[in-house]
Amino acid sequence: MGGGTAWTLYETRLRRVSAYIHEHLDDELDMEKLAEIACMSSYHWHRIYRAIYGETAAATVKRLRLHRAAGDLVNTRLSVGDIAKRSGCPNLQSFNRIFKSVYGMPPARYRNEGSHRIFTPSTQGRITLMFDVTLRTISSISLVGVAHRGPYMQIGQAFETLFGTIYARGLAWPQMRMIGVYLDDPDLVAADRLRSYACVNAGDEIAAAPPLERRTIDGGEYAVLRHKGPYADMHKAYQWLYAEWLPASGRQLRDAVMFEEYLNNPRDVPPTELLTEIHMPLQ
């Protein structure tokens, strides 16, 4: 068996397990089932998963469920009780405790006072606070990425496929930049049709063999908003950029895609400490 075939089989196993986890978030996590999908013994598979992704499969499921719950609190009118039932917690009290331990406040308070609220207009219809927006001129950035189709809150699955692939191929290096490229406006396009890419910067040393695709971010001037907090809040930051910052700046948009650069990793820091730079292209 050639080396190429060996890593292809390994990549495929990683993708199958990641897809299963994302598609069965509402089910009880079955460690033996994951090992069966990976076609490896449970003894070895869970050590390999942790070595590749930096957390156990159980930690991945917990993080994804809470990520989804935060999104539901910010973007839907589902009751906290209904959101708790989806989270896999045995009861509302358990959900409140676990959510607070990760997001810094209980879910009902997060809905009303979370970091997304700073982007919400006052009773006069204006956002009175100022945010950290800088103007930067950047060179074009060569990327490789994995396509994602569906809600932007679920792009994490594409990032897992991306990193599983580059680790399996021995192509990872410590200074890789994590970049999300978003092609559609979620206020205009149905969630299941949204197109995006989970990317890292990469030159010609990485071959864009499937599932990897090559993309390029255009050079030029960008307005960059540094956002601190959960990814569930990001949509509010975009609304503020378009509704408040852009008209006040007097600048015009350039026909290029917006992108996000993730300055730290949700596996390494709590959601309240996540740092993201949103890039808006300017003429």
**What pLDDT, in 10s, does the model give residues 165-211?**
888 888 888 788 999 999 988 878 898 999 999 999 987 777 778 89
- Long-range CB contacts (< 8 A, 24+ apart) of 34-38? 37/13, 38/13, 38/14
Looking at the structure, tell me whether residues 37 and 76 fall in a common domain. no
Looking at the structure, tell me whether residues 205 and 251 fall in a common domain. yes
71-87 per-position pLDDT tens digit: 899 888 899 999 998 88
Confidence of residue 116 (pLDDT cuts 50, 70, 90): low
Of these ranges, 30-34, 91-95, 178-182, the one predicted with the greatest mean pLDDT is 178-182
CA–CA distance, 202 with 281 (Å, rounded to integer): 21
In a domain, 91, yes or no: yes
Residue 237 clears pLDDT 90, i.e. is over it: no
In a domain, 149, yes or no: yes
Provide CB contacts within 8 A for 3, sequence distance 6+. Answer: none
Between these two residues, 130 and 262, which has the higher pLDDT value? Answer: 262
Looking at the structure, tell me whether residues 148 and 275 fall in a common domain. yes
Residue 126 clears pLDDT 60, i.e. is over it: no
**CATH number of the CATH domain containing 214:** 3.20.80.10
Looking at the structure, tell me whether residues 157 and 72 fall in a common domain. no
Looking at the structure, tell me whether residues 171 and 252 fall in a common domain. yes
Residue 243 clears pLDDT 70, i.e. is over it: yes
* Joined tokens for residue 222: 């960008």
**CATH number of the CATH domain containing 98:** 1.10.10.60
Confirm if 40 and 48 have CB atoms less than 8 A apart: yes
Confidence of residue 2 (pLDDT cuts 50, 70, 90): very low
Residue 101 clears pLDDT 60, i.e. is over it: yes
Between these two residues, 51 and 144, which has the higher pLDDT value? Answer: 144
Residue 259 clears pLDDT 90, i.e. is over it: yes
In a domain, 97, yes or no: yes
Confidence of residue 103 (pLDDT cuts 50, 70, 90): confident
Looking at the structure, tell me whether residues 46 and 72 fall in a common domain. no
In a domain, 102, yes or no: yes
Question: Which stretches within the chain are classed as H helix?
Answer: 3-23, 31-38, 42-53, 57-75, 80-86, 92-103, 107-113, 156-168, 234-240, 246-249
Looking at the structure, tell me whether residues 140 and 165 fall in a common domain. yes
CA–CA distance, 246 with 280 (Å, rounded to integer): 10
Q: How many structural domains are present in the chain?
A: 3
In a domain, 21, yes or no: yes
Beta bridge partners, 138, equal 220
Confidence of residue 118 (pLDDT cuts 50, 70, 90): low
In a domain, 123, yes or no: no
Q: How much is the pLDDT for 127? A: 47
Confidence of residue 139 (pLDDT cuts 50, 70, 90): very high
Residue 245 clears pLDDT 80, i.e. is over it: yes
Residue that has been written with the tokens 């006040």 in this structure: 248
CA–CA distance, 94 with 266 (Å, rounded to integer): 22
Looking at the structure, tell me whether residues 185 and 273 fall in a common domain. yes
In a domain, 124, yes or no: no
What is the span of the domain harbouring residue 109? Answer: 60-113
Looking at the structure, tell me whether residues 185 and 205 fall in a common domain. yes
Residue 153 clears pLDDT 50, i.e. is over it: yes
In a domain, 119, yes or no: no
Looking at the structure, tell me whether residues 139 and 274 fall in a common domain. yes
Looking at the structure, tell me whether residues 48 and 167 fall in a common domain. no
Between these two residues, 170 and 145, which has the higher pLDDT value? Answer: 145
Looking at the structure, tell me whether residues 178 and 233 fall in a common domain. yes
